[in-house]
Amino acid sequence: MKTIHLVIDDKPILAPEGTNIFQAALDNSIYIPGLCYHPKLSQFGGCRLCMVEVTERRTGHRFACAHPVSEGMIVKVNTPKVIRYRKAVMEYLLAHHPLDCPTCDKAGECGLQDITHELNLFPGRFKAVRMNAPMIRDNPLLELNRNRCILCGRCVSACKEIEGVGAIDFQSRGIKTVIGTAFDRPLACSFCGGCVSVCPTGAWQDRTLGFKGRSWEFSKVPTICPYCSVGCTIILNTKTETVRRVTSDDYLGINEGNLCVKGRFGYEFIHSPERTKTPLIRKNGELSPTSWDDAIEYIAKKFRQIINEHGGTAIGGIGSEKCTNEDNYLFQKFCRSVLGTNTIDNIANIKSPALNGLIYESVIHGMTSASLKEIEHANTLFFIGADMTEAHPVAGSMARKAIRLNNANLIIANERGVQFNSIARNDIRLKYALGSQIILINALIKVIIDEKLVDLKKVETSTNNFDKLRSLIDKFNIEEASKITGVTQEAIRNAALLLTKSGNCYIICGKDIEENPLAEDAIRALMNLCALLNSVNRGDTGSGKVSFFFSRSHNNSQGVNDVGVVPGFFPGYVNTNDVSNKEKIEKLWGVKLPDAIFKKDAENVIDLALNGKLKALYIMGENLVVNYPNGKKIKEACKKIDFIVVQDTFMTETAQLADVVLPAATFAEKEGTFTNMGMTIQRLNKAIKPVGDAKPDWQIICSLAQKMGHSCSYVSTKEILAEIESISPVYAGINYDRLRRKEFHWASSVYNKNKSAKYTFSMVKPKSSEIRKNKDLPFVLLTGASLNHQGTFSRYSKSLISVAPECFVEINKKDAQVLQINNGDKVTIESAQNKLTLKAKVTHKLPERTVFVSEDYEWIPVNLLRERGYTPVKIYKEIG
Amino acid sequence: MISNQSENLQKKSIPQKPKIIVGTGTCGLGAGARAVLSSIEQELKKLKLQADVVQTGCIGMCVHEVLVDVVFPGRTRVTYGGVKPAMISQILEEHAGKGEAVKKYVLSQMYLDDKTVSPYDGIPFFDDLEMNRSQLKHILRNCGFINPDSIDEYIAREGYTALGKVLKTMTPTEVINEISKSGLRGRGGGGFPTGEKWASCARYSADEKFILCNADEGDPGAFMDRSLLEGDPHAVLEGMIIAGYAISATSGYIYVRAEYPLAVRRLKHTIEQAKERGFLGKNILDSSYCLNIYIKEGAGAFVCGESTALQYSIEGKRGMPRTRPPQSVEAGLWDKPTVLNNVETFANVPVIINKGAEWYSKIGTEKSKGTKIFSLTGKVKNPGLVEVPMGATIRQIVFDMGGGIPKKKKFKAVQIGGPSGGCLPESLLDFPIDYESLVGAGAMMGSGSFVVVDEATCMVDMARFFMNFCANESCGKCPPCRIGTTLMLDILTRITQGDGEESDLEILEQMSDEIKTMSLCGLGQSAPNPVKSTLRYFKDEYLAHIRDKTCPTATCAALHKYEVTPDKCTKCMACVRNCPVKAISGSTKEVAFINKEICIKCNLCYEKCNFMAIK
C-alpha cells in the first residue's frame, strides 16, 4: 500500500493511502474534536465537528473523517474560522442536550463534555429545544436516555457491524429522530454492551453501574476476562476494593474493546455474598469454618496418612480450566512431586482426550500458526461444528470484521443450525446429518483433489503419504457422501472452491467436532484438508496462510493442558511415558519422582475412583459433579472417595461433597496468566484484595506443600512463570514483565523452531458416528454452549441471571407440532439414565428428531442425562 | 426500422372517426376528469356515435382542467377547457357528431402533426394563447398530445429513434461527447453538467453499474416530473436507456414516490411495453447491450431525493445521506459506479440525440443550455406547467404565461426552487433565469417549482413555512440540519408571534451561514435559503414584526389587530357572512365592525375581503 505524506498542524505525518484525515491525526496523537467517528466502526460523518482546513490544490474546509489523505496535503485543525463553525454546531447540540451532568454516570468520560471544555463554550445564543423523552429501561442491563443522545450513530453501527445483531436503528425524522428498536419493542439483543462502550454521551448507560461511583473515582485495572477462551481484555473499575463495573479499551488486548454480555456484565460474582470466605472442614457431617492453619494442617495430615497407607497413586487431582497457568502448574507439580501421583486430569482433557496430542501435532506442522486476533485478516472462514455466536462471541466479532473489511468468505458447517449474522457475500451453510462430519470433510478433500483446486504436485513434494490418500479418496463416492450428509453436491463444491481461494483461510473447529466420539478421526481428516489447502498458491505474494483454531471452552482450558495437568504430558506436551525426560524434570523440581509417574496410558481418575482405588481427590477450581460428562458415574465415584479437598470460590455442588473446602481468590484478586484458544498467553492484573480469607490458588498449594515438608516458596507468579518457561518447551521465551505490554503467542514460536516437519497424511476411513436411537428413545440430545452463562461465575452474577434466568430445551418446529409443544411449555427429557424437566423453546434451527439443551447453565445437570456420544432421549410434555 | 415504424404509425394516427381526448393527468383527475370521462362514454352510447376516447397527460394548462380535446376527421384538434359533465352532451352532439365546435366552451385549436386539416374560424390557435406564446415545448412536446399508455403513439412522434440511432451508430463515448457538447446540465437542481457526470462514471469499470432516475419529487409546489412521467413516460425511459448505454449500466432503477400512483402505474406499463418491443431487456434492438429497469417506490421522505439517501433507500436501508467521497459515480448504489439523473434530464436526452448537440446548445444562455420546465403555482392567473428556454425572465413567466396576479393584487415575490430555493422580489422581475444568476440572487434552480407570491403574503411567515418543512424533513443525521433548522424555526415562530428581538435577525444570518457550511447534504445546506433571501430582500418586514409588532400583510395572526378601515369597506358583508364566531357586525348600509372580544383571529375575514379593508 502506498504511503502518503501530509502535514497536520505543522507536523509531518505518514499515513497509508485511503486513510482519512481523522484517523491519520488520531494515529499521530493530534486531537481533532469529533463525536461520531470511531476507528472500529464504519465512517458516519454525522456530527460535523471534525471540520478542518485542508490545503490540497486549493484551500478549503473539509470534514476530517470523510476526507482521505492525499500527497502533500496540509491540514490545519484549529483555524479561527473552523473554531467558529465548530462552536456553532456544539451550541446547537447543547441547546438540545440536557445539561444534567451532575446526575449522569457518563460525566468525566463524556465526549460531549470534553469538547465543550475544549472549545471553551459559553452560554449560547439559543433557548433550549429539549426533548423530555422518558428514560427507556426495558431490560436489566442497558438503559437509553434519548434526551442525551446526539445521534452520532455509533451504537447503530456497533450493533450491526460488530455484534451482527442490528437491534437498534434511527427512527422518525427531523428533531424527533431518535435511536430505538423496531416498533419500540423491548430491547432483545445479545446485550454485549457495545452500544454503551461506543456511546460518546450518557445516552446509553450500563445499569449495573447505576450511580455506584463517578468515572474519575475509579482505578482502572486491565485484566483478562474469566469466561470463555477468547481471552478478551476487560478493565475492572474499582473503588474502595470493590469492582464497580467493567469497561473495555479499544487499544488494549486482542478484542479491540469488544466484549460479550458475560465479559461486560458478568463481574458481580466477585462480590457475591455466597462466596466461600473462610476454609471449611467437615466435622460431624457438617462443613464448619476454620482457620487456614488448621485446614492446611488437616489436609497435610490426611494426605500423608493416605500416602503411607496406599501410596501416592491413591490420590487424584483435578486441575482447573478457570485457574491461571501458574496455579495449574503448581498443582500438577504438587501432585507429581509431593504426592507422587500422576492421576491428574482436567475436564477439557476428559471430554476430548485426543485433542491435546492433535493440537500439538498441528502446531508442529504449522497448521495452527495464527493467533486469534488474526481472524480479522481472514479471507475465508470455515467454521465446522462451531457455534461462534454462543461460544466465542468476540471471536465472532473478529470474523465479522474480516467479512466487513476484507470481504471474507464464510462457510459454516454444523449438524444443527447455528446463528451467525454477517454481511458476507459468500455465505455457505452446510448443515450435515448428525455424525457425518468425517464424510463431509472427505467430500471436500475429494472435490479439491479431483478438480485439482490445489497444486497437487506441491502437495506431493511437501507431504508424505499423498498417494495413499489419493487412492483412499478415489474409492470415495461423492454422490453417496452427499446423500449421507444431506448436503448437496453443489454446496460441497462451492465450499471447496471458496476454501481454495487465495488469501488467509482460517478453520475454526468447534466443540461439536472435538467432543464427538469420532473426534480424533474428524480432526485428522481436517488436518488432511488443511495440508491440502496449504499448497494453494495463496495471495499475490503467496503470503496467505491456512490455520486451524481449536475451540476451547473456558478462559484457561488451553493453559491447563499446556502446563501439564493431564496424565499424558508434563508441562509443554512432554510425554510422561518418555523416561528420558525424567532426569531433566527431577533436576528442575529438585525431587526424585516415583516411577509410577512415567507410566504409559494412565487410567482415568474417575474410573480409578469407581474401582475403589482412589482414596483421596484434590480438586482445584472445578465443579466436577456438574461438569463431568457422565453425571451418574461421577456421583457414584465421589461416594467411593474417602477424602475430598475442594479449592474453589463458591460452594459448588462438588464443594458440598468435600471434606475440606478452601476459599480461592477470583481472577480479579490475583496475578497470573491465561492462555486462550489461540495459544496466546495474556497476563492478569490484580485489581482488588482477596475477598474474605480467600487466597490465590498458587499460594494455597505452596502452603500445603510446605506443610508437607517440601520447599515451595514462590514469592510471586512471576517466579512460577519463569519456572514454567524453563521446563516447558512450548512456553520457552516467555517473560512475565514483557507480558504487560504484549501477549505471547506460543504456537508461532514453537512452529518457528520446528519448521522442517513434513506432514504425513493420515488415512481416515470415512465413517459416520453411530447413533443409537430406538423406539423408546426416539430423540437425540445435543448440547452446546450458551452466550449468557458459563461455569460457576455466571450463576452468581445477578445481571446474567436476569438476562437469562432459565435454561430452555430447544426443539424443532415440526416435532413440536407433532408433540403439541408450544414455547414455554414444561417438557421432560428422559434418557436411559435420568430425566430433566425444562421449559421448551420451539426453533427452526435444529434438525428433526433432536433436542438441544445448553450445558452452560450449571444448575441444570444435563450431564445426568448424558452418556458418551449422542444420547438417545425421549421427550414429553408435562401436564399441569 | 424505427423511422419506418414511425411513419406508418403517423399515418395510422390520422383519425377516420372522431377522437375524443381527455386530460387525465393528476391535475385533470383532481378537477374531475373521471366523471367527465364516464359521462363521455355514456353520452356516446346515448348518441350512438362512433368515436375513439383516449386519455392523455397534462398539457400544462392545469388551470383550465378538465381539458377535453375533440378531433373531427379532417379538422383541427379543438380543446375545450373547464369541462363539466353537463357540457358533454352538447360538445359530443355538435362537435363529434356534426363537426361543429361549440365555441362558447372552446379554449383553442391546434394542427395535428400534418397541417393538411382545415382549421375552424374564430378559434385561437393553441400556440397563440397568451399562456403558450413564449413557451418552447421540446420536452413537453408529447405531454397532453399522445396517449401515454400507448407506445405506438410515442413511436409515431419519433419515439425511440434516438435510442436506435445511439445503438446503431454511436459508441458510448460518442454519446457522452454529444451530451457534453450540448451543454445539458442536471435538471434536479444542482445543475451539474450531465455529460461530465456520465463521463466520470464511464471511467470506472465494475461487474455491475447502475443508472438511476430520481423521480422523488418532493418540493412543495413542484410537479414537473410527475407530469412528465404521467404524460410522456417513454421519453424518460428512452433517455434513461441511452444514458445506461453511455455508461454501460447493467441495470437501472426509477425511484418514484409512492404518492404518485398514476405515475407508478404508467411507468410499470411503460417498462412492460418497452420490453415487449425490445427496447429494454436483453440485446436491445439487436445490439449487444442489455439493460433492465426496475421501479422502486419511495415512502415519502423528502431527503430521499438526495442522491446518496436515495441509493440507501433503494438498498433497503434508512434514507440518510452519506458523506462524499466516494462520489456515486465511483461507488454509489451497492458500492458500484452509479449515475443518478432527474426525470427531466433524461427527457432531454432523446431530444439532444435526435436534433443534435449543436441545435440544442443554441437554446438558452451561455452557461445554461436548453429549456427548463417550471411548475407555475401560487398567486397567478394561469397556474400550470411552462417550458421556457433558459434565460427567460421572471416577468415573462409570471405576467406573460402566468397572466399576472389575480384579484388585482400586486406581485411581491417569487419563490424559485422550493424550500431550498430563495425568494426573489419585484426588483428582479427582469432577471434572466439560469443556474448561475439564480444562485447569485440567493435562490437556486431547484427542481423548478415556481411559486408566485402576492402582496398579501407575509414573507416572514413564508420563510417560517419553508423552515418548518425543512425541519420536519431533516433526516436527523447531522446537528446543523436537525437542531439548527429547529432553532431557526423557533426564532422565526417567535418573530411571527411578536416576541422577536432585533438581535434575532443577526442570529438568523449567522445561523444561515453556519447551517449552510456545516450541513452534510444539500437539504441542510440549502435549508436556510428562504430565510436568507427574505432577510436580504424583505428585511423591513422582519423589522416591522420585531419593532412595531405588526405584520404588514396581516398574515401573522398573533399580530393582527383585526380592524376595519372604514374608507375601504364597501359594505359587501363578505366578512360578516364568513365569520365563524359571529364577531363581525355590519350591514349593507353600515361599515363592518369586529368585536375583538369574540374574535378568534381565524383570519377568514381578512382573506375574504377583496378590498383590503381589514388589517
| Residue A880 confidence (pLDDT) | 61
For B534, the 3-state DSSP assignment is helix
Write out chain B residues lying below 8 Å of A127, CB-based: 490
Please tell me the distance from the alpha carbon of residue A33 to that of residue A116, in angstroms, as a whole number.
10
What string of H, E and C letters represents the secondary structure of B377-443? EECCCCCEEEEEECCCEHHHHHHHHCCCCHHHCCEEEEEECHHHCEEEEHHHCCCECCHHHHHHCCC
> A82 CB near a chain B CB, below 8 Å?
no
**Best of A89, A90, A97 to disrupt the B interface by mutation (most B CBs within 10 Å)?**
A89
| Residue A601 confidence (pLDDT) | 65
DSSP state letters, A825-858: -EEEEEESS-EEEEEEEEESSSPTTEEEEES--T
Residue B442 backbone phi and psi in degrees, to 5: 95, 10
Contact B479 A93 (CB under 8 A): yes
Tens-digit pLDDT profile for residues A170-197: 999 999 999 999 999 999 899 999 999 9
Report the Cα A584 to chain-centroid distance in Å.
35
Q: Nearest by CB to B514, from A43, A88, A151: name it.
A: A88
Task: Give the residue among B549, B436, B419 at the shortest CA–CA distance from B488.
Answer: B419
Task: Give the residue among B23, B278, B15, B254 at the shortest CA–CA distance from B147.
Answer: B23
Contact B475 A45 (CB under 8 A): no
Q: Nearest by CB to A173, from B301, B480, B517: name it.
A: B301
Write out chain A residues lying below 8 Å of B485, CB-based: 174
The ranges of chain A with pLDDT < 50 are 539-540
| Residue B615 confidence (pLDDT) | 73
For B478, name the nearest residue in chain A, comparing CA atoms only: A46
Q: Nearest by CB to B323, from A63, A125, A169: name it.
A: A63
Q: Nearest by CB to A92, from B323, B480, B517: name it.
A: B480
> A130 CB near a chain B CB, below 8 Å?
no
CA A213, A216, A221, A222 dihedral sign is: positive
Please tell me the distance from the alpha carbon of residue A13 to that of residue B498, in angstroms, as a whole number.
55
> A43 CB near a chain B CB, below 8 Å?
yes
Please tell me the distance from the alpha carbon of residue B594 to that of residue B87, in angstroms, as a whole number.
43
Please tell me the distance from the alpha carbon of residue B226 to that of residue B143, in angstroms, as a whole number.
11
Residue B428: other Cβ atoms inside 10 A: 21
Cβ-contact B398, B411 below 8 angstroms? yes
Q: Which residues does residue B524 pair with via DSSP β-bridges, in sequence order?
A: none
B237 pLDDT higher than 60? yes
DSSP state letters, B270-310: HHHHHHHTTSSBSSGGGSS--BEEEEEEE-S-GGGGSHHHH
Contact A173 B473 (CB under 8 A): yes
Task: Give the residue among A595, A102, A740, A678 at the shortest CA–CA distance from A373.
Answer: A678
For B503, name the nearest residue in chain A, comparing CA atoms only: A125
B226 pLDDT higher than 60? yes
Look at A293 and B59; give whichever has higher pLDDT: A293
Counting one residue from A and one from B, how many pairs have CB atoms under 8 Å apart? 97
C-alpha cell of residue A254: 486482542
Q: How far is B419 from chain A (nearest CA, A)?
A: 15
What string of H, E and C letters represents the secondary structure of B484-504? HHHHHHHHHHHHHCCCCCHHH
> A69 CB near a chain B CB, below 8 Å?
no
Would you mind telling me the total number of residues written for chain A in this entry? Answer: 880
Residue type for position A403: I
**ipTM score:** 0.87
DSSP category for residue A560: H
Please tell me the distance from the alpha carbon of residue A215 to that of residue A562, in angstroms, as a whole number.
39
Q: How far is A399 from chain B (nearest CA, A)?
A: 21
Write out chain A residues lying below 8 Å of B511, CB-based: 88
CA B302, B234, B383, B445 dihedral sign is: positive
Q: Which helix (H) or strand (E) holds A819?
A: helix A813-819
* Across B143-163, average pLDDT: 89
Torsion angle of the four alpha carbons A135, A139, A142, A146, in this order, in degrees rounded to the nearest 10: -20
For A85, name the nearest residue in chain B, comparing CA atoms only: B514
Question: At which residue does the C-alpha cell 369586529 appear?
Answer: B594
Q: CA separation (Å) from A854 to A387, A846, B253? A: 12, 13, 47
Residue B137 backbone phi and psi in degrees, to 5: -95, 95
Q: CA separation (Å) from B406 to A536, B63, B166, B548? A: 81, 13, 47, 30
For A52, name the nearest residue in chain B, comparing CA atoms only: B518
Q: Provide the chain A residues 154-193 that lie in CB contact (below 8 A) with chain B.
A: 169-170, 172-177
| Residue A539 confidence (pLDDT) | 46
For B473, name the nearest residue in chain A, comparing CA atoms only: A174
Q: What is the pTM of this model?
A: 0.89
Residue type for position A581: N
Contact B477 A174 (CB under 8 A): no
For A394, the 3-state DSSP assignment is helix
Mean pLDDT of chain B: 88
Cβ-contact A246, A270 below 8 angstroms? no
> A407 CB near a chain B CB, below 8 Å?
no
**Best of A86, A93, A150, A173 to disrupt the B interface by mutation (most B CBs within 10 Å)?**
A173
CA A458, A463, A467, A472 dihedral sign is: negative
CA contacts within 13 A on the Cβ side of B392: 24
Provide the greatest CA pair distance for chain B.
82
Write out chain A residues lying below 8 Å of B521, CB-based: none
Please tell me the distance from the alpha carbon of residue B361 to that of residue B586, in angstroms, as a whole number.
63
* Across B516-530, average pLDDT: 91
Q: How far is A44 from chain B (nearest CA, A)?
A: 7
CA B142, B145, B150, B152 dihedral sign is: negative
For A136, the 3-state DSSP assignment is strand
Q: How far is A98 from chain B (nearest CA, A)?
A: 13
C-alpha cell of residue B22: 381527455
DSSP state letters, A668-722: GG--EEEE-TTSEEEEE---SPPSTT-B-HHHHHHHHHHHTT-----SSHHHHHH
DSSP state letters, A79-100: -HHHHHHHHHHHHHHHHHS---
Please tell me the distance from the alpha carbon of residue B469 to that of residue B463, in angstroms, as a whole number.
10
Angle between helices A717-727 and A582-589 (to 10 degrees): 160
Cβ-contact B449, A57 below 8 angstroms? no
In the sheet that holds A73-76, the strands lie side by side as A11-16, A3-8, A73-76, A51-55, A59-63
Write out chain B residues lying below 8 Å of A46, CB-based: 477-479, 520
Residue A215: other Cβ atoms inside 10 A: 16
**Best of A175, A177, A181, A405 to disrupt the B interface by mutation (most B CBs within 10 Å)?**
A175
Contact B483 A127 (CB under 8 A): no
First CA to last CA across chain B, in angstroms? 68
Look at A146 and B439; give whichever has higher pLDDT: A146
Residue B553 backbone phi and psi in degrees, to 5: -100, 5
Contact B482 A151 (CB under 8 A): yes
Please tell me the distance from the alpha carbon of residue B471 to that of residue B483, in angstroms, as a whole number.
8
First CA to last CA across chain A, in angstroms? 68
Q: How far is B471 from chain A (nearest CA, A)?
A: 6
Please tell me the distance from the alpha carbon of residue A851 to that of residue A79, in angstroms, as a whole number.
65
**Best of B511, B518, B521 to disrupt the A interface by mutation (most A CBs within 10 Å)?**
B518
Contact A66 B325 (CB under 8 A): yes
Write out chain B residues lying below 8 Å of A172, CB-based: 476
Write out chain B residues lying below 8 Å of A51, CB-based: 518
| Residue A230 confidence (pLDDT) | 94
Contact B325 A92 (CB under 8 A): no
Task: Give the residue among A276, A270, A187, A189 at the shortest CA–CA distance from A234.
Answer: A270
Q: Nearest by CB to A46, from B324, B477, B485: name it.
A: B477
**Best of B207, B315, B323, B466 to disrupt the A interface by mutation (most A CBs within 10 Å)?**
B323
